[in-house]
Amino acid sequence: MAKTIQAIRGMNDCLPTQSPLWHKLENAVKNVVSVYGYSEVRMPIVEMTQLFSRAIGEVTDVVEKEMYTFEDRNGDSLTLRPEGTAGCVRAGIEHGLLYNQEQRLWYMGPMFRHERPQKGRYRQFTQCGVEVFGLNGPDVDAELIMMTARLWRELGIDKHVRLELNSIGSLQARADYREALVGFLEQHIDVLDEDCKRRMHTNPLRVLDTKNAEIQAILGDAPKLSDYLDEESKQHFQGLCELLDSVGIEYSVNQRLVRGLDYYNRTVFEWITESLGAQGTICGGGRYDGLVEQLGGKSTPAVGFAMGLERLVLMLETLELDSVRRGVDVYVVTAGEGTLLAGMKLAEALREEVPGLRVMSHFGGGNFKKQFKRADKVGAAVALVLGEDEVSEGTVVLKDLIGGTQNTYPQAQIVTKLAELV
């Protein structure tokens, strides 16, 4: 036998047993973005490498070590998108959607990062992102958070997530803070590990989220970003906190929350769960008022977030909230001359008359016993049985596969019986 070929590590198949839960989640997400009036945008999965290095930042983990970058046959450097914001901004500028306009957009699809795979962290994963352009008040930041909170309620996971919030201020405020922080880190250089030493000069704010406990301990005395915030950013943040308070959304302000992508300013937030272990961030986002201009458009305020759907699926499974309508409703069993065609016609008529009813026809022959076994295997609630007598009399036997009862009905009456299953 030939050697089998396996999927790439960290890139998973979604199997038929798993897809109903994915559909449930995707539908819930689409429903929530749509009730806020947002529109879908679909971008290519591959973009010019430069787009990501410019948008996300040369010295971020994503750009430095996680991108799937390759040369195509023309010699252009291309990259499988590691996230959606950069492509969304690129598309907005390219199609003239952003200048002097307001856009409320969402997208869903695969993203790629060459990270070390573990539970909740994959090399191909699915994000649903939301991006708003042209609005600079804290009201829209609050709406995005309310939108995610609504989704958690609809999925039933709202008691298992918490919101962390921070403001990282203007670019100038960050530059001032960065200088103070580097000064502080230099005084403690002997405690820093290699990673932090490297980051100290390239991206010192990232030292704040080190996992090294010894370094975390000294960071308690480090200068605080909040002391460097510009007045406008402070007011924006206060406005957001007041809005969240008045709609009853709980949060905690985490001064160390800086996010791993460089384009943010002012508001940053993350939704975190304890139920997944190490990869507990299910959603992250914030403002990026400078990015449109940085990518060649006119200065446009912007804010957004993205959530990882694999992590939400894992959460639904862990919390046993993964009940879905699996399999089919009706399995059509036939035996005898001319019954297969009669069965297929009946199935077709039922699909027509009972919208949403899932009807599967048995193919491949075999006795009733074998066919009922198949019906059980595909999870059907009822079997419709057509033998030669039923076909000639215009009747059908309805067998309840859960309760076990069995009755004969005229075919014309079967629609009302089956409508109850949907």
Site for ligand HAM in 230-269 (CB under 6 A): 260-261
Residue with tokens 């937030």: 269
125 lines the binding site for ligand HAM (CB under 6 A): yes
- Whether residue 170 contacts residue 27, with contact meaning beta carbons closer than 8 Å, is answered with no
Looking at 11-19, 41-49, 68-76, 82-90, which segment touches ligand HAM (CB under 6 A)? 82-90
Report the residue number, 164 or 195, with the smaller CB distance to ligand HAM: 164
Of residues 109, 103, 59, 104, the one with CA closest to residue 82: 109
Of residues 99, 98, 81, the one with CA closest to residue 42: 81
Q: Which residues are annotated as a binding site?
A: 83-85, 113, 127, 131, 259, 263-264
283 lines the binding site for ligand HAM (CB under 6 A): yes
Residue 194 burial (CB count, 10 A): 7
In the list 53, 60, 127, 233, the residue contacting ligand HAM (rule: CB under 6 A) is 127
Site for ligand HAM in 85-104 (CB under 6 A): 85
Report the residue number, 306 or 386, with the smaller CB distance to ligand HAM: 306
Looking at 284-292, 349-357, 372-380, 411-419, which segment touches ligand HAM (CB under 6 A)? 284-292
240 contacts: CB under 8 Å, gap ≥ 6: 138, 141, 142, 165, 267
Looking at 181-189, 283-291, 393-401, 410-418, which segment touches ligand HAM (CB under 6 A)? 283-291
Looking at 72-80, 113-121, 166-174, 179-187, which segment touches ligand HAM (CB under 6 A)? 113-121
The partner residues of 251 in beta bridges, in order of sequence, read none
Helix-, strand-, coil-residue percentages of the chain, each rounded to 5: 40, 20, 35
The minimum distance between CB 28 and ligand HAM, in angstroms, equals 16
- Whether residue 207 contacts residue 168, with contact meaning beta carbons closer than 8 Å, is answered with no
What's the Rg (C-alpha) of the chain?
Answer: 28
115 lines the binding site for ligand HAM (CB under 6 A): yes
Gap between the terminal Cα atoms of the chain: 46
Q: Which residues are annotated as a binding site for L-histidine?
A: 83-85, 113, 127, 131, 259, 263-264
Q: Residue with CB nearest ligand HAM? A: 308
Report residue 20 as tokens.
């109903």
The minimum distance between CB 105 and ligand HAM, in angstroms, equals 10
The partner residues of 40 in beta bridges, in order of sequence, read 106
Residue 168 burial (CB count, 10 A): 26
Report residue 282 as tokens.
């299910």
Looking at 115-123, 155-163, 348-356, 377-385, which segment touches ligand HAM (CB under 6 A)? 115-123
Report the residue number, 145 or 375, with the smaller CB distance to ligand HAM: 145
Per DSSP, helices labelled H in 19-132 are 19-35, 49-56, 61, 85-94
In the list 149, 282, 386, 391, the residue contacting ligand HAM (rule: CB under 6 A) is 282
306 lines the binding site for ligand HAM (CB under 6 A): yes
The minimum distance between CB 256 and ligand HAM, in angstroms, equals 15
- Whether residue 358 contacts residue 375, with contact meaning beta carbons closer than 8 Å, is answered with no
307 lines the binding site for ligand HAM (CB under 6 A): yes
308 lines the binding site for ligand HAM (CB under 6 A): yes
Binding mask 35-64 for ligand HAM (x = CB under 6 A): ------------------------------
381 lines the binding site for ligand HAM (CB under 6 A): no
Distances (CA, A) of 106 to 42, 84, 137, 158, 272: 8, 10, 19, 22, 21
Report residue 163 as tokens.
């919101």
121 lines the binding site for ligand HAM (CB under 6 A): yes
Q: How far apart are CA 193 and CA 209, in angstroms?
A: 13
Total of chain residues touching ligand HAM, rule CB under 6 A: 27
**Which DSSP symbol is given to 118?**
B
* Residues at the interface with ligand HAM (CB under 6 A): 83-85, 113, 115, 121-122, 125, 127, 129, 131, 260-261, 281-286, 288, 304-308, 310-311
